[in-house]
Amino acid sequence: MSHDHHDHDHPKAHGRDFDEGPPSEYEIMSRAMQELLEAKGVVSAEQIRRRMEQFEADFPHRGAKVIAHAWTDAAFRKRLLEDGKAACAEFGVDLEADRLIAVENTPEVHNIVVCTLCSCYPRALLGMPPTWYKSENYRKRVVREPRAVLREFGTVIPEDVTVRVHDSNADMRYVVVPMRPAGTEGWSEEKLARIITRDSLVGVTIPKP
Amino acid sequence: MKVSAYTDAPARRFSVGERVRVKRSFPPGHRRTPHYIRGKHGVVERVCGAFPNPEELAYGFDGEPKRVLYRVRFRQKDVWSDYAGPERDWLEIEIYEHWLEKA
């Protein structure tokens, strides 16, 4: 399911804040298409609702599991950084058409991801993008004042650490590999996965034990 | 085609580490080069492979010939003259070959 590519074609439709003003041309077209498919009995409203619910329920967890595994298995971590898609596939996560670049936080570099043109996001890995990720406020500001935006998320990056912003504007998708925090020695992957939040995989926060 | 973030493109104009400039051009139509990066100087960070041209795909064409896609790294101070953070901050973005020229 390639929602991202739909976004590519119609960035303006996603560029404004949601539920404000009259529906856009694309929202009307999408609504009309859904009504036609329902009227012809191809899909039911219940099936669409269930699919969206499933998308949100299933997918965020997968990113946390993949990163927890990378924290505990150095060889897997290396493969993830070399080829994100292949590493996810061996973990049972099929990214479909997306290429994935995993970017590693270190004591010297903090990574943060945005799509300034629309809302490209590794949905198969992280689920549906949060509203703030799609907002004009985040998309416009994070490329030019990333440290101020990070502070608004409660994340302060020291001046001697490079902030590396990734604009996910074309065919690649990104996931941040946060640093495993001190105080988690000996934790199981399951326990580690619980502190790996979606936001930390976009790079706006840092996992805490 | 090998489906990977690291598919090389043998026939390409630029290599990793090479200095490049994003064309300062404002053609109409569907473009995936954001305005803020046009005319800026950076360095090729990696070659992503060759992809169907999104400027053609957007209008229902097949996107052929494919275009080589690069990730280009910019110093934030080179992108925004009034950038408030330290010199060490970077921005990386994907740019298609036909939007790049030698710097």
List per-residue pLDDT tens for chain B, 103 residues long: 334 455 677 789 999 999 999 999 999 888 999 999 999 999 999 999 999 999 988 888 999 999 999 999 999 999 999 999 999 999 999 999 999 999 9
Q: Could you tell me which residues come within 8 angstroms of residue B13 by beta carbon, excluding any fewer than 6 positions away?
A: B68, B97, B100
Mean pLDDT of chain A: 87
Please check whether residue B66 lies inside any domain of the structure.
yes
Choose, out of B90, B98, B99, the residue to mutate when testing the contact with A (most A CBs < 10 Å).
Answer: B90
Contact across the interface for B54 and A116, Cβ inside 8 Å: no
The amino acid that residue A142 corresponds to is V
Task: Tell me the C-alpha distance between A122 and B28, whole Å.
Answer: 29
Q: Does residue B65 have a cis peptide bond before it, meaning omega lies within 30 degrees of 0?
A: yes
How far apart are alpha carbons A208 and A183 in whole angstroms? Answer: 9
**Domain CATH code at residue A29:** 3.90.330.10
Looking at the structure of chain B, the number of domains it has is 1
Residue A41: count of CB within 10 angstroms of its CB: 7
Q: Does B79 touch chain A (CB under 8 A)?
A: yes
For residue B14, the distance in angstroms to the closest alpha carbon of chain A comes to 18
For residue B19, give the amino acid letter. Answer: R
Whether B72 is in a domain gets the answer: yes
Picking from A8, A100, A164, the nearest residue to B92 by CB comes out as: A164
What is the domain count for chain A?
A: 1
Q: How far apart are CA A164 and CA A157, in angstroms?
A: 11
Residue B12 resides in a domain:
no
Q: CB of A141 within 8 A of CB of A195?
A: no
Contact B94 A167 (CB under 8 A): yes
CATH of the domain at B87: 2.30.30.50
Could you give the CA distance from residue A78 to residue A169 in angstroms, rounded to a whole number?
A: 25
CB B98 within 8 A of CB A199: no
Residue B7: inside a domain: no
Q: Do A117 and B51 touch (CB under 8 A)?
A: no
- Structural domain including A103 reads 1-209
What is the separation of C-alpha B73 from the centre of its chain, rounded to a whole number of angstroms? 9
pLDDT tens, position by position, A96-131: 777 899 999 999 999 999 999 988 898 888 888 899
Residues of B in contact with A143 (CB under 8 A): 36, 79, 91
- Give the domain extent around B29: 19-102
Residue B14 within any structural domain of the chain: no
| Closest residue in B to A174 (Cα–Cα) | B5
Residue B58's CB: how many other CB atoms inside 10 A? 16
Among all residues of A, which ones are annotated catalytic?
115, 118-120
Chain B CB contacts of A117 under 8 Å are: 32, 34
CB contact (8 A) between residue A163 and residue B89: yes
